[in-house]
Structure 1
Amino acid sequence: MSTMRIAVAGTGGLAREIAREIHESTSYQLLILSRSPPPDLLSQGYQCQVVDYTDSSSIQHSLMGVDSIISTVTGNAQLLLIEAAVACRVRRFAPAEFEGQPGLRAQGDPLDRGRAAALALLQHYRAYIQSTVFVCGILYERFSVGGMRSHSIGVNTGYSNEGDYILDARNMTATVPGYDSVGNLSFLCMTSARDVARFVVRSLDLPSWPQELSMCGERMSVSTLINTVQACRGRVFNSAVWQNPQGLQYELTLAQMAGDVPRQRRTSTLIATAEGRYDFVAPAFLNAQFPDIQPLTFQVWFANNWGAVP
């Protein structure tokens, strides 16, 4: 299996982390699928294939000889990629998920971005192609200087800017989804994009993929998250509004009445957090499977990321 051909669809920040890990840590053949291959990847010697996600024949041509696909593209492009993968007899497909457990998403979820349709299509073709969902909780990069956007991650999600999720570490303000609907502390699992890449690439060695493959850098309560950021910044939040799902739902209703779509999306992520959609209590499968991978803790990651920011 040392010559197995792996395709990574997309060239955003997470796709690049996964591609780099494959390139540097394995002997697998790596192919990056892109609408327009970035010059920097080409100059670094990565094999990139131009693909037109509106043309099935173009996609199928790109997938000849590919064993497994790791997708970071969403929407109709991903659906056509799945269809082409089945037609080309690709063995395994990992859709663009990389968050919480899909089973906890409500029908018609405003944060779905076509992911439910992709999972339904993979289920339809389950006799022909193996698939898994990589469950990693929240990416640390949501709390990065410049937000996820600065890492070219989740640019089109509507909550990729600095301060879009839970807290604004620069101005020390926060809307904290600190409690669930019955008053218990809300928890979330988080992982750095770098560690996600390490676990994803190691999973390529598994003889088969279960329906989900979970990983976790650190699990903590939202209140601990707030305290950790305060400790790293050496500052107390100027404003921290604590909310439960009912209060957040009211905020969502106001955003809907105002037609404020960005606010709706940001509030929906907070509701999802309070409802526990980014939390999984059981030990993460990939952490147990590969104990030699020691994920970065959130405190260390955050201190490194914000250390030079006044």
Structure 2
Amino acid sequence: MRIAVAGTCGLALVIAREIHESTSHQLIILSRSHQPHLISQGYQCQIVDYNDTTSIQHSLMGVDTVISTVTGNAQLRLIEAAVACRVRRFAPAEFEGQPGLRAQSDPLDRGKAAALALLQHYRGYIQSTVFVCGILYERFSVNGMISQRIGVNTGYGNEGDYIFDARNMTAEAPVYDSARNLAYLSMTAATDVAKFVVRSLDMTQWPAEMSMCGERMTVNSLIELVQTSDLLQGRIFNNVQWQDPDTLRYELTLAQMAGDHQRQRCLYNLIATAEGRYDFATPAYLNTCFPDVQPIRFRDWFERNWQSVP
């Protein structure tokens, strides 16, 4: 089976590596630019111009499945080309919470709703699924998820941009939802996302959504877990702002008045967290389908990722 991974961000390359090393599928990486370092590692790369329909269609000849990590108009053109080339399946650049929980005119959308609408329009011609993984562990990486080349253009990928700043031991935690219930998070490491995605390639049919989860916990438990990790040796967060959706919206209003766009993007994520956008019931669908895939626990991932930081 010929699989195309569109994009060369960190998540795309983790998925590509899993395909390359764990399957016999023929892999092609679609990139806007020449990738000599990937070619030297044995990957087949195809330069694609997302403004040129012919270029996109040429790159998709003979492809069975497209896994996309590109967004906006580039992804829309990729979908159109996939349909024209009779690609069988398409996974759009989602890899987050359930799309149905997103608000209309979502400020964090980045073209995702348009891509899903286009795939729905072509549902008679191409099969698609949304991979739902909740929050990537990499959001809590040393130097942020942008250090893993994930979320580079989102505006909230730096260290400490989401929930807590482990280096400075501060946190802004959306602990309650609107009904004063504890806010939950479902989270997965990028390496485990790749394992589940690759295992799904051999499934006969793809449902509209396929969820996966490394660990589910309350935001409050997440803060406590970080404080009690072996790495921090008894240190505690010296400044925790416990928030609910109403107080976060007030903070958002202040950020809008100040014209602080980065603060606004961070607050949109915290509001979405408080409203349950990144939570879903477990066991997740793919965890059930592939019980032999044992995701890494967040504590283990966190301690491994931060072990070299003094």
| TM-score relative to the length of structure 1 | 0.98
Partner of 2:272: 272
Equivalent residues in 2 for 1:99-178 (5 A)? 99-178=96-175
Post-superposition offset of 1:251: 0.7
Which whole-Å CA distance do the structure 2 matches of 1:121 and 1:252 have between them? 31
Post-superposition offset of 1:182: 1.3
3-state DSSP of counterpart to 2:29: strand
Q: Aligned match of 1:191 in 188, 192, 195? A: 188
Which whole-Å CA distance do the structure 1 matches of 2:274 and 2:105 have between them? 18
Q: What is the identity, as a one-letter code, of the residue corresponding to 2:308?
A: A
Question: CA-to-partner distance for each residue in 1:173-223, whole Å, 9 max, x for gaps?
Answer: 000001011111100000000000000000001101000000000000000
Which whole-Å CA distance do the structure 1 matches of 2:269 and 2:25 have between them? 36
Q: Aligned match of 2:46 in 45, 49, 73? A: 49
Q: What runs of 5+ residues in structure 1 fail to find an aligned partner? A: none
Post-superposition offset of 1:49: 0.1
Question: CA-to-partner distance for each residue in 1:249-272, whole Å, 9 max, x for gaps?
Answer: 111111111111111110000000
Partner of 2:208: 211
Residue 249 (structure 1) aligned with residue 249 (structure 2): yes
Equivalent residues in 2 for 1:20-99 (5 A)? 20-99=17-96
Which whole-Å CA distance do the structure 2 matches of 1:52 and 1:193 have between them? 27
Say if 1:295 and 1:282 are closer, same or farther in 2 by CA, change over 3 A.
closer
Residue 224 (structure 1) aligned with residue 211 (structure 2): no
| TM-score relative to the length of structure 2 | 0.98
Number of paired residues?
307
Partner of 1:308: 308
Post-superposition offset of 1:309: 1.0
Post-superposition offset of 1:282: 4.0
Q: CA RMSD in A?
A: 0.7
Residue 289 (structure 1) aligned with residue 289 (structure 2): yes
Question: CA-to-partner distance for each residue in 1:78-130, whole Å, 9 max, x for gaps?
Answer: 00000000000000000000000000000111100000000000000000000
Partner of 1:260: 260
Contact 2:5 2:68 in 1 (8 A): yes
3-state DSSP of counterpart to 2:228: helix
3-state DSSP of counterpart to 1:174: strand
Structure 1 segments (4+ residues) deviating >2 Å: none
Which whole-Å CA distance do the structure 2 matches of 1:204 and 1:281 have between them? 23
